[in-house]
Structure 1
Amino acid sequence: MATKSSSLVSLVLSLILLQLFVSSQVCLTEAIRIPR
C-alpha cells in the first residue's frame, strides 16, 4: 500500500511539473510572438 501511494504521489508531482513546464513554455512563446 505504501509503495502504491508513493508511486501515485510521484506520478501526480511529475504531471504537475510537466504542466507547469508546458504552461511556462507557452507563455514564453506567446510573449515572443506578440510584437511590443
Structure 2
Amino acid sequence: MPSYAALDVSQETTAICVVDEAGRILAEKKVATCPD
C-alpha cells in the first residue's frame, strides 16, 4: 500500500505528515528545523 509524506518547513520547526491512499493519517510529527 503506497503512502505519501508532506513536509511543512519553516525556520524554527518542520511539520511532517504521512497519509495512505485513502487520505488517512498514518503519522504526524513536528521537529526542530536544523539547517546544519
TM-score range normalised by the length of the shorter chain: under 0.3
Scaled by the length of structure 1, the TM-score of the pair is 0.16
Larger RCO (CA under 8 A, 6+ residues apart): 2
- Point out the structure with the larger strand share: 2
Scaled by the length of structure 2, the TM-score of the pair is 0.16
